[in-house]
Amino acid sequence: MYAKALAPEYQGALSSLSVNSSLTDVLAEGTDRLRAAERAGSQREAARSGLAVAEAHRRLGHVEEADRAWKASYRAARSAGDVGAMAWAVWSGGTLARQRGSLALARRLLALAAELGKRGDDVVARGYSLAGLAETGRIQGDYEAVHALHEQLLAEARKRGEARHTVWALEGIAQIHRNTGSYDTAFAMFEEAAAIAAQADDQRGRAWALRGMADIVSLRDKDVDRALALLSEAELVCREMKLTSALAYNLKMRGNVLYRAAHYPSAREYYETALAEFRAMSEPRGTALSRLGLAKTLARLGQDPALTAAELDDLRGELDRIGLRHAREMVDAAYEELGISRPGTRSTSVAPVPGARAAREAVAAR
């Protein structure tokens, strides 16, 4: 049995906040507490309150505000000589760097946060920082390097009965299995994560697990209705808690599910909505993945193959720049799937995209 999930990033006067607190509420209360700490001249409390402010801004997609807030939290922690609080601030900065696509910076900051957590004897800060390093490697597609670290962190979280970290590790390992084709294993782990999150009242973790389950149900079982129902359940949580990034990824997954089912006009709408959300929060990974889905959908709707090829080529370069190996492989697969030659190749023939005429007629009939 797992105890109720906690939010260790909400500290000091904010430690009573729930892991399920609305991010807008966290931001409002955190800002009030931060101002009170600054008026009182309490650097320690300013660091702790500032961390909550940074995390709320980050999860709401306010990247510039989040960047200022974690740095201010670090300065306050350093002034107070609170090494543990310094570790948490740098963890927040490293997580933000990953969100913004600055993966090399993310690794440096998260490694520093792990070291500060060790020096400050803050086991949780160190654990979160190591988890951040593992997640950074995973989204880059460096599965061999980080799978063992995910497993280690999962074992430690289970031993301590930390529901939130157990859920995170299960979801991370499940995603690796999903991306390497082990759909049954992935689904079982996403399902376990969802059950633990529900038991521990970790609604954020549950929303991500439901999204993972929907992905597998769509890929493995071709069950569109069930996949969309799982995503709708997760979407309610995202909207209630104001989980901006998680909601955008939910919308993109809806596009994926509909694309796989050849519902191209509807898929286009969701990809376009997700793309606008990711661009608004300056989230390059989500932006690139939404662009890829949209490019493939437009190709199915009869777009000029030369335009699709140019978009895929630009995306390939962008993903190389960010360092997302798995996503770049998805772009390479898209050329073959759509029968489109890469720009600069000798072949000039472009294979017709199956279903393009029917899709165009469906759009015209709307």
State yes or no: pLDDT of 147 exceeds 80. yes
Rounded to the nearest 10 degrees, how much is the dihedral formed by the CA atoms of 119, 121, 127, 130? 10
Higher-pLDDT residue of 283, 344: 283
Average model confidence (pLDDT) across the chain:
91
Tens digit of each residue's pLDDT (9 = 90 or more) over 301-335: 999 999 999 999 999 999 988 888 888 889 999 99
State yes or no: pLDDT of 251 exceeds 60. yes
Q: What is the pLDDT at residue 67?
A: 98
How does residue 345 score in pLDDT terms, banded at 50, 70 and 90? low
Residue 202 in contact with residue 5, Cβ under 8 Å? yes
Tens digit of each residue's pLDDT (9 = 90 or more) over 162-203: 999 999 999 999 999 999 999 999 999 999 999 999 999 999
State yes or no: pLDDT of 14 exceeds 80. yes
Average pLDDT for residues 150-168, to the nearest whole number? 92
How does residue 276 score in pLDDT terms, banded at 50, 70 and 90? very high
Encode 43-74 in three state secondary structure: HHHHHHHHHHHHHHHHHHCCHHHHHHHHHHHH
State yes or no: pLDDT of 347 exceeds 60. no
State yes or no: pLDDT of 249 exceeds 90. yes
Q: What is the pLDDT at residue 343?
A: 67
Higher-pLDDT residue of 142, 264: 264
Average pLDDT for residues 267-286, to the nearest whole number? 95
Q: What is the pLDDT at residue 364?
A: 34
Distance between CA atoms of 321 and 156, rounded to whole angstroms?
Answer: 34
Phi and psi of 181, rounded to 5°? 90, 5
